[in-house]
Copies of this chain bind each other. A is one copy, B any other.
Amino acid sequence: MDSLRREAQSDAGLEVDDLLETWRLLDIEERLEAFMDLPRDQAEDFFLELSAREEYELIHAMPAGQRRSWMRLLPPDDAADVVQESEDSEREELLGLLDDPTRREVRALLAYAEDDAGGLMNPRYARVRPDVSVDEAISYLRRQARATLESVYYIYAVEADQRLAGVVSFRDLFSAAPGKTIRDLMVTDLVTARDDTDQEELGRMFAQHDLQAIPVVDGEGHMKGIVTVDDIVDVIQEEATEDIQKIGGTEALAAPYLETGFTSLLSKRVLWLAVLFLGEMITASAMGRFEDELGRALVLGLFIPLIISSGGNSGSQASTLVIRAMALGEVTLGDWWRVVRREVMQGLIMGLLLGVLGFARIEIWQQLFHTYGEHSLLIATTVGLSVMGVVTFGTVSGSMLPFLLRRVGLDPASASAPFVATLVDVMGIVLYFSVASLVLRGTLL
């Protein structure tokens, strides 16, 4: 019997997951209809699996009379996320659906920026006074557990004035002698976040310290709530996705790729492409200055794509490495000198290797097919030296631009790519024709 019941339940569980996938392909009216067709308990499990955006859209779409029980199903931090997703004009109505104490908590959460610890934290956590005994604490927590707690992994010892005094893990509380006090057990060497700590920093704190939850305190050390690691997993995924999309030359998407509307996707891509395009137009002007040289030595034109792309590739490689190291907190502004020394050497060596490759390619083709005429050695020298210069320049400027951008308060991830691309392309052309006019003077030029 029992195992049959379990199997039935387990099947239902699998259905919810499968359902979620097909459900996400529907438009909002179909979504609501399918949702309302579910048995209540399954619908509740389903609802709690959704993103804040999807929860909001369902609530927004359903008849007003049915909204309350769904809003009240959510813990305060999730309810606040749903309210964040709503239009300003709907906020008060949604808040009105909550019970009074929860509404107060949600309002307090809404006062924080969405990306800060204050906006991510849950105001319900396991708290005791430092001077109660282990047995008292356990029986107190047994009474409080269902009503108030999201996470019972840590118990926070909070003084009468709401200052955070220490933390006891559940494991320690559980295994301690019954008569000891919380103060005897608690760890006071705490990792805490401020309510204005941003979520990227929070992600780093969790990754570094391997904690299940981090308490959030205000400037005076008063306990405000906790951020749990399961909420941070989403945040870390999101932050990485944003950086990847920005590095790829898109504004960060607000929703998954397939769920982003066509025009919304278009507007987030076309803007950066247009900025890059306008930047690259400078290359046409730069080339214009060398039209005479090009006319006298047409062969130079053949290698322009190679020169340009070598600079662009080395630049985007270096800037990506530095941007990610900055996002992980591995490299800070103060490290710029260490990075520049390293990148000058890396750039020179890579430039040398690619330069030799370029030189060899031209000479080998010349031997095989006599492609480049009597001055092939000089052409190969021009290309080799230019590649070396442009790779070095690309590497160094690619690694330094994220520092400059962060220094002036811009996001290195979103602005580095276009700057590096334009800078390196224009420099590449100028360098190439300058080297050519030195090497080929008196022969081709």
Closest Cβ neighbor of A142 among chain B residues: B174
A361 to B189, CA, bound (A): 62
Chain B's nearest CB lies how many Å from the CB of A166? Answer: 7
Q: Decide: B320 and A249 in contact? CB cutoff 8 A.
A: yes
Q: Judge if A375 is at the interface, Cβ distance under 8 Å.
A: no
Q: Decide: B354 and A324 in contact? CB cutoff 8 A.
A: no
10 extra interchain contacts, Cβ-Cβ under 8 A, other than A240-B244, A249-B316? A6-B166, A206-B233, A244-B320, A258-B325, A258-B338, A262-B346, A265-B342, A283-B309, A288-B302, A294-B298
Chain B's nearest CB lies how many Å from the CB of A266? Answer: 6
Q: Decide: A321 and B257 in contact? CB cutoff 8 A.
A: yes
Closest Cβ neighbor of A287 among chain B residues: B302
Q: Which of B2, B183, B283 is in CB contact (< 8 Å) with A2?
A: B183
**Given that A174-B145, A258-B331 are contacting pairs, would A371 and B288 also be in contact in the complex, using a CB cutoff of 8 Å?**
yes
Chain B's nearest CB lies how many Å from the CB of A98? Answer: 21
Pick 22 A–B contacts, CB within 8 A, sort by A.
A16-B189, A49-B209, A206-B230, A232-B233, A237-B328, A240-B243, A244-B324, A245-B321, A248-B317, A249-B316, A249-B317, A253-B321, A257-B330, A265-B346, A266-B346, A276-B310, A277-B306, A280-B306, A284-B303, A291-B299, A301-B304, A308-B308
Q: Decide: B320 and A276 in contact? CB cutoff 8 A.
A: no
Q: Judge if A438 is at the interface, Cβ distance under 8 Å.
A: no
Q: Judge if A322 is at the interface, Cβ distance under 8 Å.
A: yes
A211 to B5, CA, bound (A): 24
Q: Decide: B310 and A277 in contact? CB cutoff 8 A.
A: yes
A210 to B166, CA, bound (A): 26
Q: Which residues of B contact A149 (CB under 8 A)?
A: 171
Closest Cβ neighbor of A204 among chain B residues: B237
Number of copies: 2
Q: Decide: B274 and A354 in contact? CB cutoff 8 A.
A: yes
A146 to B173, CA, bound (A): 10
Q: Decide: B9 and A189 in contact? CB cutoff 8 A.
A: yes
Q: Decide: B165 and A152 in contact? CB cutoff 8 A.
A: no
Q: Which of B212, B233, B258, B306 is in CB contact (< 8 Å) with A284?
A: B306
Q: Decide: A302 and B291 in contact? CB cutoff 8 A.
A: yes
**Given that A230-B206, A283-B306, A324-B241 are contacting pairs, would A175 and B6 also be in contact in the complex, using a CB cutoff of 8 Å?**
no
Q: Which residues of B contact A190 (CB under 8 A)?
A: 10, 13
Could you tell me which residues of chain A, from 249 to 292, have a CB within 8 Å of some CB in chain B? 249-250, 253, 256-259, 262, 265-266, 269-270, 272-274, 276-278, 280-281, 283-284, 287-288, 291
Closest Cβ neighbor of A358 among chain B residues: B277
Instruction: Give per-residue flags for A106-150: 1 if the beta carbon is below 8 A from chain B beta carbons, else 0.
Output: 000000000000000000000000000000000001110110010
Closest Cβ neighbor of A259 among chain B residues: B330
Q: Which of B210, B317, B338, B429 is in CB contact (< 8 Å) with A305?
A: B429
Chain B's nearest CB lies how many Å from the CB of A204? Answer: 8
Q: Decide: B262 and A342 in contact? CB cutoff 8 A.
A: yes
Q: Judge if A28 is at the interface, Cβ distance under 8 Å.
A: no
Q: Which residues of B contact A278 (CB under 8 A)?
A: 357
Q: Which residues of B contact A345 (CB under 8 A)?
A: 262
Q: Decide: A250 and B320 in contact? CB cutoff 8 A.
A: yes
